[in-house]
Amino acid sequence: MINVKKLTGIKTINGQPCTVMATVGRQNTQDKDNNDYNNKGVNAVLLNGNRYQFDCCGFISTWEIFARNGAAVPIDVKVQVWEDTGGLLWNLRGENTITATAGDAENVVIITAPNRIRARKDDFIGFYEPFGSVVTYGGGNNYKTTNFVTDQTSYNWDLIGQGNNRDHAIHAIIVPSQIPVFTNLDDTVAVSNSEVAGTVLFTLTISDGDAEDDSTQLTLANTVNTGSASTLFEYDSLTLEIKVRAGVSLTPGDHSMTFSITDPCGQFSTGTLTLRVENDPPVITSLATSNNKTISEDLTTETLLHTLEVTEADPFTCQIDSTLVPFVIKTISGSSKYGIFLLAGASMDYDTQNAYVLDLSCTDTYDVTTGIYTVYLKRNNPPIINGLPLAIDVQEDSVVETTLYTMSVTDPENTAVTCSIPTITPPTTILFHKPSSNFNEFDIVLQSNPNLQYDLVRTFRLDISCTDGRRSDTGVFFVNVLRNKPTVFLNLQNTTTVSSISSYIGQIVFDVEVTDPENDQVQFSMSCVPSTNSPFEIYHSGEILLKVSDGKTTTGPRSLTVHVLDINYVPVIRNLPLPSPLVVSENSPLAMSVFQVSIQDNDGEDTHTYTMTSSPPDGILYFDIDSATGLVSTSATTIVDFEAVSSTDYTLTITVTDTKDSATQNLSLTVANVNEPPVYTKKSYVLSVNEGSAGIILPDPGYLYTDEDTGDTHKFSMTCGSNVGYFSISSTTGLITLATDIDVDEAGSAASYTCTVIVSDSVLTDSATLTINVNNINDNTPVFSNNLFTYYLDISYPLNTVFGSAVATDADAGTFGTFAYSIDQTSLGIETFGIQTNGDLYLKNSLTSYGYGASLSFTIQATDTGSLQGTATVFVVIPQTTTTSTTTTNRYITFWEYPANPAWVVILSVLGVFILCLPCFMVWKNKGSCTYKGRTDDYKERIREPSEVYENKEDITKQRKFNLRWKPWMWFERS
């Protein structure tokens, strides 16, 4: 059985880790089996000799003790590690309770994680035998002994007397701790500069092979920062998260943070996290749906033409880059948004320039986004005088100011028109014009008392002109004077009667009938004899006063009192008003019950009718009341929309009536906001991009989506099914980027990808389909199988006969992979050769004009449909003699065909013959011997065989002359 006690305290780091496995204590425990502590009053021992002291930091993996002969095995022993703190008390670093199972023998116990004790440098081994003596000892080392009553976690060993000359039969095997590491460093993380404070950018993950080393034992630290990492980012030591600091604006660029992780033994490693802040360029979203406007050339006041909607987290500015235009981009008053404005006092002329193409840009100082906005001018159209009659008649006896005709003028641009009468024939001041009460209407007026005389002037001509300030319209109007005729009574004189009893106010007594030849308006006047006042008068108090008169004397007044029977009781609304507003969530179901009005009316038979008004008034669009029951509910036709209502607080004034009296109370309602998903108003988008390299940003898809919730932040994501890794999407702008190289010419490559683009408000989402079509472009040039083709043709080679083939290929797919062959043989002077559509070469004209031994060269070309061209060179050799024509197709020239090679072969052959002849010449010159005679000043010596020793010089000469046997000579030989 193995038990462990590990004491925890302040996390410290020992700076001297073990590097190899080592044994601390008595290596051979059997050597120290001489004595033991049985019956000696000792159960705790501190071994403070050098042999039992740890010189590095590591884990104890094995304990070995020698158990005394006669120990009552199995028996438990607590093997310990003690730390000398330098103070009064020693600390127990840890202990393992091991079981000795064999007496008079070594007992080896292996300790596995997480039960191992971490021993530090300068710690000492000890043991505690609470159940009886086990460990033996012999002479040799320092120690201290005592008797523990109970387990001790600290003890003042300094008070215990020092013993010596005892080696104890115990040792520990210590192994190095494993190095902790970061499992996800080094790494580089892309960060958008629009990220907000508190956003988690990265979470460190660590690993340590020692089970004992958890987060409480390991020390993590941010040691080094480069760039602006220390000011832009913060490290949370509790969660191991790297976050965006509050109150900072992320600066694009690389910012590095280096971290270290250290275990208590000082084993450590480091890792670097590079935070690559990428700038999100401004995105002008409004131009996708509105990029032009048509205005009148007459417009001169400062006018907002377009509000720029720009997505950008950093401060940015926008401007018009076009010059000499009457437009400007500036912030809209009362808003932070930019707008495209027409400058005040602008002078525009359709006939000179009918449109302005405005180049505009927005920048956040890091990136610039451009756009185009077009302003079209609408040509001013002249005003139109509508339906001006040719003439009008007027009576000569007219005396009052009379409007003869109201002239209506229409201006297509709805511009205020000014009219005038520049000429009246004959001249007069009795006719004039003035603006009418309606817009762009003018009255032609005859002044009062004009003193018209038919016999003097019977017709006036008025020349009329109307202008909008740029263009005008004219007309002619005649006024004819008519001679007047008198009015005639048709039914007077006459007599009628009226009853004084049955007559009533407003009763028609008599109709006077007249006729007027000119159909003039006739005015009537009347006088009565005698003239009296109305005999009745009523006051607002409800009293009716009667006056009675016989024409001479008036009696009264007298009062008439009216008694009212069947008094009605007024209904009372019992459950209104409420102590607090009633909350209704937006998007509640149509016709959902909201509140039941309860009333009390003492007239039990009364029928009640409920009505309702609202403040603000649009509340009646969203709430209904049942006129018979008083049940207030949501509208049966209009959904309550938090973003659409004019106010989130409504006061519904409810009135109940019993046909005679009514009661009114207020019901207060509050509309609660509910998160609503973003919704794509357009569900399908298509983008096109040319095949190319990773990093290409595709055009803005122009996503159209709405979110009823004002202020929601949206992020984009994308899935493309099995086509993973081809595209990436910016989470903030939704712009698509090629994530890898795409080449539709490669086998298996697709030309179209269907992806799902998801917009999210962080809780709810909507998706749309995005089809990305990859355009096949002409990006490969036709290539011939060889750069050089050589052919041998007899001078009489037959015409129109194929002599070789030069095949080209084009890696492009589709139409761009189609090409045509051609020949450039201008250097030959005549069109000698031809090439067929399959690349076969043939002879078009005779070779005789070139002669034997001629070498001809020309260029063949393969040109694809996109005008890319590949070339190769063709050599045609006409042999010196007439031979059977030979065609060599698609090969390199041989060794002997290259003109320079035979020349140097001849030279080397001559040199070889010379070298072979040289030895023969030397033999001849030495008179049949190849022995080197040497020179008189050479020092040569060699040991000769006895047979080579001659008595005299004559014999030597004789030997040289007749000895024809050849043998090699050496430089040191001397005759």
Segment among 558-562, 793-797, 880-884 with least mean pLDDT: 558-562
pLDDT tens digits, residue range 562-618? 333 456 788 999 999 999 999 999 899 999 999 999 999 888 788 999 999 999 999
CB of 804 closer than 8 Å to CB of 720: no
Q: What is the C-alpha separation between 447 and 431, in angstroms, rounded?
A: 6
Q: What is the C-alpha separation between 116 and 113, in angstroms, rounded?
A: 6
Identify which has the larger pLDDT, 972 or 121.
121
pLDDT tens digits, residue range 345-396? 999 988 899 999 999 999 988 899 999 999 999 888 899 999 889 899 998 8
What is the predicted pLDDT for the residue at 965? 47
Does residue 472 fall inside a structural domain? yes
In 3D space, the residue among 809, 913, 789 whose CA is nearest the CA of residue 860 turns out to be 789
Segment among 120-134, 514-528, 806-820 with least mean pLDDT: 514-528
pLDDT tens digits, residue range 685-712? 999 889 888 999 999 998 988 887 878 8
CA atoms within a 13 Å half-sphere pointing along the CA-CB vector of 49: 21
Q: What is the C-alpha separation between 38 and 104, in angstroms, rounded?
A: 14
Cα separations in angstroms, 747 against 25, 288, 302, 810, 896? 71, 36, 60, 14, 43
What is the predicted pLDDT for the residue at 931? 54
H or E element: which one contains 953? Answer: helix 953-962
Q: What is the C-alpha separation between 610 and 663, in angstroms, rounded?
A: 10
Mean pLDDT for all residues in the chain: 85
Last residue of a domain, one of 669, 698, 723: 669
CB of 280 closer than 8 Å to CB of 313: yes
Cα separations in angstroms, 514 against 511, 522, 662? 10, 8, 54
Q: Do 15 and 114 share a domain, yes or no?
A: yes
Q: How confident is the model at residue 540 (pLDDT cuts 50, 70, 90)?
A: very low
Does residue 537 fall inside a structural domain? no
Q: How confident is the model at residue 56 (pLDDT cuts 50, 70, 90)?
A: very high
What is the predicted pLDDT for the residue at 974? 42
What CATH number is associated with residue 347?
2.60.40.60
The strand pair at 355-363 and 599-600 is best described as: unpaired
Identity of the residue numbered 480: N
What is the predicted pLDDT for the residue at 952? 44
pLDDT tens digits, residue range 249-284? 888 999 999 999 999 999 999 999 999 999 889 999
Q: Do 60 and 85 share a domain, yes or no?
A: yes
Q: Do 193 and 158 share a domain, yes or no?
A: no
Last residue of a domain, one of 226, 256, 278: 278
Does residue 530 fall inside a structural domain? no
Residue 319 has pLDDT above 80, yes or no: yes
CB of 131 closer than 8 Å to CB of 32: no
Segment among 175-184, 476-485, 878-887 with least mean pLDDT: 878-887
What CATH number is associated with residue 88?
2.60.120
CA 534 distance to own-chain centroid: 87
Q: How confident is the model at residue 47 (pLDDT cuts 50, 70, 90)?
A: very high
Give the DSSP letter string of 474-518.
EEEEEEEEE-----EESS-S------TTT--TT-------EE-TT
Residue 726 has pLDDT above 90, yes or no: no
Residue 972 has pLDDT above 70, yes or no: no
What are 75's strand-pairing partners?
100
Residue 884 has pLDDT above 50, yes or no: no
Identify which has the larger pLDDT, 953 or 120.
120
Q: Where does 302-426 show beta strands of DSSP type E?
A: 303-308, 310-311, 317-320, 327-331, 338-342, 355-363, 368-378, 384-386, 391-395, 402-410, 418-425
What is the predicted pLDDT for the residue at 866? 84
Take residue 308 and report the two structure tokens written for it.
Answer: 């720029």
What is the predicted pLDDT for the residue at 9? 42
Q: Do 236 and 102 share a domain, yes or no?
A: no
Q: Do 39 and 161 share a domain, yes or no?
A: yes
Q: How far apart are the first and last CA of the chain?
A: 100
Does residue 43 fall inside a structural domain? yes
Residue 175 has pLDDT above 90, yes or no: yes
Identity of the residue numbered 81: V
**94, burial (CB in 10 Å: exposed 0-12, middle 13-18, buried 19+):** buried
What is the predicted pLDDT for the residue at 546? 35
Does residue 164 fall inside a structural domain? yes
Residue 3 has pLDDT above 50, yes or no: yes
What is the predicted pLDDT for the residue at 537? 46
Q: What is the C-alpha separation between 658 and 454, in angstroms, rounded?
A: 71
Give the number of other CB atoms < 10 A from CB of residue 408. Answer: 16
Residue 923 has pLDDT above 80, yes or no: no
**Percent of the chain topping pLDDT 90:** 59
Segment among 487-496, 647-656, 853-862 with least mean pLDDT: 487-496
pLDDT tens digits, residue range 939-961? 444 444 444 444 444 444 444 44
Q: What is the mean pLDDT of residues 630-656?
A: 93
Identify which has the larger pLDDT, 486 or 248.
248
Segment among 328-337, 476-485, 896-905, 926-935 with least mean pLDDT: 926-935
Q: Do 171 and 202 share a domain, yes or no?
A: no
Does residue 674 fall inside a structural domain? no
SS3 46: strand
Does residue 491 fall inside a structural domain? no
The strand pair at 292-296 and 368-378 is best described as: parallel
Q: Do 331 and 476 share a domain, yes or no?
A: no
Q: Do 99 and 86 share a domain, yes or no?
A: yes
Does residue 950 fall inside a structural domain? yes
What is the predicted pLDDT for the residue at 899? 58
Identify which has the larger pLDDT, 495 or 142.
142
Q: Do 108 and 228 share a domain, yes or no?
A: no
CB of 174 closer than 8 Å to CB of 22: yes
Q: Do 28 and 149 share a domain, yes or no?
A: yes
Q: Do 334 and 472 share a domain, yes or no?
A: no
pLDDT tens digits, residue range 65-89? 999 998 889 999 999 999 999 998 9
Residue 2 has pLDDT above 70, yes or no: no
Q: What is the C-alpha separation between 491 and 510, in angstroms, rounded?
A: 10
In the chain, how many domains are there?
A: 8
Give the DSSP letter string of 935-947.
-TT-----PPPGG
- Structural domain range at position 691: 679-775
Q: Do 120 and 73 share a domain, yes or no?
A: yes
In 3D space, the residue among 288, 235, 226 whose CA is nearest the CA of residue 254 turns out to be 226
CB of 377 closer than 8 Å to CB of 413: no
Sheet architecture: strand order including 253-262: 187-192, 268-278, 253-262, 219-225
Residue 109 makes CB contacts below 8 A (sequence gap 6+) with 2, 62, 63, 64, 96, 98, 99
Last residue of a domain, one of 140, 157, 175: 175
